[in-house]
Amino acid sequence: MFVIRCPYCGERDQTEFTCHGEAHIARPKNPNEVSDKKWGEYLFFRTNPKGYHYERWTHDHGCRRWFNVKRHTVTDKIVQTYKMGESKPEDNSA
């Protein structure tokens, strides 16, 4: 069970949070103009990396804010948490 640093509240236990899957998947600006393939990718396709994964979490039993987490899928180490709208940190893994 992780300890997660909410960017708004600080370190809290994982039981206060919910994970919502991969982050940085922007909704297409004009959905009507994107191809079926592109729309399908937005809806259904997600990465499954061995390494750093960028994912969305909410602090449900706290401030109820959404934020992003950079977590290593092998060690489960969370190396960074950052607010929505902030740019995606680099993947500096080898």
Partner 1 sequence: MLNRNRLVSGGSINRNKIINFKFNGQELQGFEGDTLASALLANDIHLIGRSFKYHRPRGILTAGSEEPNALVQLETGSKTEPNARATEIELYEGLIATSQNCWPSVKYDIGALNNLFSRILPAGFYYKTFMWPPSMWLFYEHFIRKAAGLGEAPKKKNPDRYEQKFFYCDVMIIGGGVNGLVAALAAARSGAKVLIVDEKKDIGGYLLNTKAKINTLYAQVWIKETLNELHALKNVTILNRTTATGYYDYNYITALQKVTNHEINPNKKLPRERFWRIRSKEVILAQGAFERPLVFSGNDKPGIMMASAAQVYMSQYGVLPGNSITLFTNNDHAYSVALEANLKGAKVIIIDIRHSVSDTINKLCEENKIETYFSHAITSTYGSKKVNAISVQELSSDKQSFVGEAVTIGTDLLLMSGGWNPAVQLFSQSRGKLRYSDEISSFVPDVLIDHQYVVGCNNGEFNLRQSLLNSFQAGISAAHQTGHKIEVNQFIDDAVEPYGFTISDVVPYVLGSKPVTHGSKHFIDFQNDVTAADIFLAQREGYVSVEHTKRYTTTGMATDQGKTSNVNALAIMSHIQNKPVGEVGHTTFRPPYVPQTFGAIAGRNVDQYFDPERRTAIHQWHIDNGAVFEDVGQWKRPHFYPKNKESMNEAVNRECIAARKSVGILDASTLGKIDIQGPDAAKFLNLIYTNAWSKLEIGACRYGLMCNEHGMVFDDGVTTRISENHYHMTTTTGGAARVMSWLEEFLQTEWLDMKVYCTSVTEQWTVLSICGPKSRDLLSSLTEENITNESLPYMRMKKAKICGIDARIFRISFTGELSFEINIPSRYGRYVWDKVIDAGKKFNITPYGTETMHVLRAEKGFIIVGQDTDGSATPSDLNMDWIVSKKKEDFLGKRSFARSDTVRENRKHLVGLLINDKKTVIPEGSHIVDKAHKKPPMKMSGHITSSYHSPTLGYPIAMAMLKNGKNRSGDTVLIPLMNGKLIEATVTDNVFYDKEGFRQND
Binding site for partner 1 (CB under 8 A): 1-3, 13, 20, 26-28, 30-32, 34, 36, 39-40, 42-43, 56, 58, 64-66, 75-77, 84-85
Between 48 and 75, name the residue whose CB sits nearer to partner 1: 75
Give min distance, CB of 35 to partner 1, in A.
Answer: 11
Give min distance, CB of 1 to partner 1, in A.
Answer: 5
Give min distance, CB of 49 to partner 1, in A.
Answer: 19
Nearest CA to 59 among 68, 50, 51? 68
Between 37 and 47, name the residue whose CB sits nearer to partner 1: 37
DSSP reduced 3-state for 10: strand
Helix (H) or strand (E) holding 53: strand 52-58
Give min distance, CB of 47 to partner 1, in A.
Answer: 18
Nearest CA to 4 among 91, 74, 65, 86? 65
Rounded to 5, what percent of the chain is helix, strand, coil? 15, 35, 50
